[in-house]
């Protein structure tokens, strides 16, 4: 697996190691406070083969092996939103580590939306399946580092950004500078809200390191995945926003691009699990769990 570490820049600045999941283009993160060796795991992937509907844990286990090798104590298992392109590994990681899990509080509203899409009125219980539901402006600690929560809707209605010192985990808002920004056409998404979220992130100090959720190389002449750039770099050079752009012009770019995109091949499987914290539904009488897939809704 392709990995890269961004070193701490000083006191209360996390060391950040990213792990690239090629199957989904996702980046999984370990954010560490160097002073205390306390760590947070962010957006870790549970492997899923859509052809066979088979789950496995190789990617998450690689992150766990890194944690053990580095002698880290995991304080938090975090996700930025209920992902559409991969199954989250929260439940598996909690079983292995015992650390608390967290996601944005608007997962409650996302659950309501997807209950209707799946026609499963009694499905999903965020209070049961996540240890902490985080609101805009909430804060908590990672070792000696203060972590601030920003609501960053647009890709989903409940996406959140984690700001840890001079690092911000901005998930599916920005992509790398040379790729632009992410899509806003999923149920509950909005290019108008995404634009406002992007602008709020660009209001962070210019030296803030932004860590994005996805990359899909090759991009131009670049063949390796990339996921880190500063606020200053995005302000100046982001493919969709660099140099300043009006909301109307940005939305035109984003909406036209989104109209050409198909659904992620894991989406209708993944959301049923991710709204349960990465858990399968309860097994049926034969001992197997089943996922319900709506036909002709998209």
pLDDT digits (tens, 9 = 90+) for 133-143: 999 999 999 99
Exposure of 81 in the CB half-sphere (CA atoms within 13 A): 27
Is 148 strand, coil or helix? strand
* Rg of the chain in Å (alpha carbons): 18
pLDDT of 199 above 90 = yes
The string of DSSP codes covering 125-142 is -HHHH-SEEEPTT-EEEE
Sheet of strand 101-104: strand arrangement: 3-6, 15-21, 26-33, 38-42, 73-78, 101-104, 132-134
pLDDT, tens only, 29-71: 999 999 999 999 999 999 999 999 999 999 999 999 999 999 9
Tokens encoding 59: 């990617």
d(CA 127, CA 114): 16
> What confidence score (pLDDT) does residue 101 get?
98
> What confidence score (pLDDT) does residue 90 get?
98
* Model confidence, pTM: 0.97
pLDDT, tens only, 215-241: 999 999 999 999 999 999 999 999 999
| Confidence tier at 1 by pLDDT (50, 70, 90) | confident
> What confidence score (pLDDT) does residue 105 get?
98
pLDDT, tens only, 269-298: 999 999 999 999 999 999 999 999 999 988
Q: Which of 292, 275, 67, 35 is nearest to 165 (CA)?
A: 35
In this structure, are residues 179 and 219 in contact, taking their beta carbons and an 8 Å threshold? yes
d(CA 298, CA 248): 26
Average pLDDT over residues 69-76: 98
Return the DSSP state at 54. Answer: E
Residue 180 C-alpha from the chain's centroid? 17
Q: Is the peptide bond before 61 cis (omega within 30 degrees of 0)?
A: no
Q: How many other β-carbons are positioned within 10 Å of the β-carbon of residue 120?
A: 16
d(CA 171, CA 42): 10
| Confidence tier at 79 by pLDDT (50, 70, 90) | very high
For 84, 107, 134, 136, the CA distances from 126, given in Å and listed in that order, are 17, 7, 12, 17
Task: Tokens 């499905």: give the residue.
Answer: 123
**Pairing mode of beta strands 3-6, 38-42:** unpaired
Domains and CATH numbers, the chain: 3-264 (3.60.15.10)
For 17, 19, 45, 61, 252, the CA distances from 56, given in Å and listed in that order, are 22, 17, 10, 10, 39
d(CA 134, CA 160): 8
Average pLDDT over residues 66-87: 97
> What confidence score (pLDDT) does residue 285 get?
97
Strand spans (E) along the chain: 3-6, 15-21, 26-33, 38-42, 45-49, 54-56, 73-78, 87-88, 101-104, 132-134, 139-142, 145-151, 160-164, 167-171, 209-212, 228-230
């Amino acid at each position: 697996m392709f990995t890269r570490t961004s070193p701490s820049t000083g006191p209360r600045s996390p060391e950040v190691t990213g792990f690239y999941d090629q199957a989904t283009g996702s980046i999984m993160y370990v954010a560490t406070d160097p002073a205390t060796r306390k760590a947070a795991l962010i957006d870790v992937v549970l492997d899923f083969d859509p052809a066979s509907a088979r789950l496995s844990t190789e990617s998450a286990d690689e992150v766990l092996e890194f944690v053990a090798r580095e002698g880290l104590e995991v304080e938090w298992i975090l996700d930025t939103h209920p992902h559409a392109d991969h199954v989250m590994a929260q439940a598996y990681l909690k079983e292995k580590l015992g650390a608390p899990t967290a996601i944005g509080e608007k997962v409650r509203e996302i659950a309501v939306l997807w209950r209707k899409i799946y026609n499963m009125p009694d499905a999903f219980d965020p209070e049961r399946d996540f240890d902490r539901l985080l609101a805009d402006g909430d804060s908590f600690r990672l070792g000696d580092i203060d972590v601030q929560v920003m609501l960053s809707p647009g890709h989903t209605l409940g996406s959140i950004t984690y700001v840890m010192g001079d690092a911000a985990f901005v998930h599916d808002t920005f992509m790398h500078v040379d790729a632009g920004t992410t899509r806003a056409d999923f149920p509950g998404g909005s290019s108008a809200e995404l634009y406002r979220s992007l602008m709020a992130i660009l209001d962070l100090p210019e030296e803030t390191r932004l860590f994005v959720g996805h990359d899909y190389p090759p991009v131009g002449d670049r063949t390796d995945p990339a996921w880190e750039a500063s606020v200053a770099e995005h302000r100046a050079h982001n493919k969709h926003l660099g140099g300043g752009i009006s909301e109307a012009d940005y939305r035109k770019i984003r909406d036209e691009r989104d109209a050409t995109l198909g659904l992620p091949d894991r989406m209708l499987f993944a959301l049923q699990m991710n709204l349960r914290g990465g858990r399968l539904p309860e097994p049926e009488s034969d001992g197997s769990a089943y996922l319900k897939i709506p036909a002709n809704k998209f």
